[in-house]
C-alpha cells in the first residue's frame, strides 16, 4: 500500500509542478489583442522619435502581423527596416529591405530601400586588411540604385559612397600585392596591381600600383614593361612622388633578378 501511495503522491506533485511552470510561462507571454492599425503604427513612430528603436521595429512588425492587407502595412515594412538600421541590427535591416523590394518593386520608396540597404552594408565595412565582403555588398547595392534610379535623390550620395567602396576594394588588392612583392612572388604581385588599374582606375591607389608594377617588372628583368608602366605613370601623374621613384628606378635599372630587393613597401 505504501509504495502505491507514494507513486500517487509523486504523480500529483509532478502534475502540480507542470501546471505551475505552464502558468509562469504563460504570464511571460503578451496576450494577442487586435488593435487599430493607426494606433500600433503611431506607437512605432513615437518609439522612433525617442530612440527606442527595438520597440519601434516591434510595433511596425506588429502592424503587418495584425493588418497585413492594410496600406499601413507596406509603409510599416520600410519603417521597421529603418528602425533595425538605427539600432545597428544591419542583418535584420537588410532582410527587411530585400523583402520590401521583392514585394513592392514599383513602390515610390523603393529607391530609398536600395539606398538604406547600401548603407546597412556600408556601415559594416572593416579595415582594409580584413575581409571586404560587406564592401562588395555595399558596392552592389549602390550600383543597383544608381543603375535603376539614376535621377533619384539618393543616387548622388550613393555615387560618393560607391567611390569610397571602390577605393576600399582597391586598397585590399594593394595590401595583398605588397605582401606578394615583399615575398618576391612577383607574378602574383603583378596580377593584384593590374586589378587595381583595370577595375579601380579612378581610385587613389592607381599611382602606387603603377610604381609597384615598375618594381615587379624590374625585379623580373622585364625592362620594356617596367619602362611602359613608368611612362603611363609619368603621363597621368607627372607630379606624383610615385613617378619620381619610378623614374629613378628605370634610370638605374634596379637589381638583377635574384639579388636583394631595393625596396620594402611595408
**Distance (Å) of CA 115 to CA 97, 153, 167, 201:** 10, 10, 19, 24
Angstrom distance (rounded) from CA 45 to CA 59:
9
Radius of gyration, CA atoms only, the chain: 30
CATH number of 37-104: 1.25.40.10
Averaged pLDDT in 10-residue chunks for the chain of 266 residues: 46 44 49 76 92 93 88 92 96 96 94 97 89 94 96 94 95 96 95 97 95 94 94 92 88 58 48
Instruction: Please report the pLDDT score of residue 32 as a whole number.
Output: 59
Let me know: does 81 contact 97? Beta carbons within 8 Å: yes
Let me know: does 192 contact 180? Beta carbons within 8 Å: yes
Instruction: Please report the pLDDT score of residue 1 as a whole number.
Output: 42
DSSP 117-156: HHHHHHTT---TTS--HHHHHHHHHHHHHHHH-TTSTTHH
Instruction: Please report the pLDDT score of residue 111 as a whole number.
Output: 96
- Name the CA dihedral angle for 78, 80, 83, 84, rounded to a multiple of 10 degrees: -100
Instruction: Please report the pLDDT score of residue 21 as a whole number.
Output: 43
Instruction: Please report the pLDDT score of residue 33 as a whole number.
Output: 67
Domain ranges in the chain are 37-104
Where would I find the beta strands (DSSP E) of 3-155?
none
Angstrom distance (rounded) from CA 216 to CA 257:
10
The alpha carbon of residue 260 and the mean position of all alpha carbons in its chain are separated, in whole angstroms, by 40
Please tell me whether residue 50 adopts helix, strand or coil conformation: coil
Amino acid at each position: 500500500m505504501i509504495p502505491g501511495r507514494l507513486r500517487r503522491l509523486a504523480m500529483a506533485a509532478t502534475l502540480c509542478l507542470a501546471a505551475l511552470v505552464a502558468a509562469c510561462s504563460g504570464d511571460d507571454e503578451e496576450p494577442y489583442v487586435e488593435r487599430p492599425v493607426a494606433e500600433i503604427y503611431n506607437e512605432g513612430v513615437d518609439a522612433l522619435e525617442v530612440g527606442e528603436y527595438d520597440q519601434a521595429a516591434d510595433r511596425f512588425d506588429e502592424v503587418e502581423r495584425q493588418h497585413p492587407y492594410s496600406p499601413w502595412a507596406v509603409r510599416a515594412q520600410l519603417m521597421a527596416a529603418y528602425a533595425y538600421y538605427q539600432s545597428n541590427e544591419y542583418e535584420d535591416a537588410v532582410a527587411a529591405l530585400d523583402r520590401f523590394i521583392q514585394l513592392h518593386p514599383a513602390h515610390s520608396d523603393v529607391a530609398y530601400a536600395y539606398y538604406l540597404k547600401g548603407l546597412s552594408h556600408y556601415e559594416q565595412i572593416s579595415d582594409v586588411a580584413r575581409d571586404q565582403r560587406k564592401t562588395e555588398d555595399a558596392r552592389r547595392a549602390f550600383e543597383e540604385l544608381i543603375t535603376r534610379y539614376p535621377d533619384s535623390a539618393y543616387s548622388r550620395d550613393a555615387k560618393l559612397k560607391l567611390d569610397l567602396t571602390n577605393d576600399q576594394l582597391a586598397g585590399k588588392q594593394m595590401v595583398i600585392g605588397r605582401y606578394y612583392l615583399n615575398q618576391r612572388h612577383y607574378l602574383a604581385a603583378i596580377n593584384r596591381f593590374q586589378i587595381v588599374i583595370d577595375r579601380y582606375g579612378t581610385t587613389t591607389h592607381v599611382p602606387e600600383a603603377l610604381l609597384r608594377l615598375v618594381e615587379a617588372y624590374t625585379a623580373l628583368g622585364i625592362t620594356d614593361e617596367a619602362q611602359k608602366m613608368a611612362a603611363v605613370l609619368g603621363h597621368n601623374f607627372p607630379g606624383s612622388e610615385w613617378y619620381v621613384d619610378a623614374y629613378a628606378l628605370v634610370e638605374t635599372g634596379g637589381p638583377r633578378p635574384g639579388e636583394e630587393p631595393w625596396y620594402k613597401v611595408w
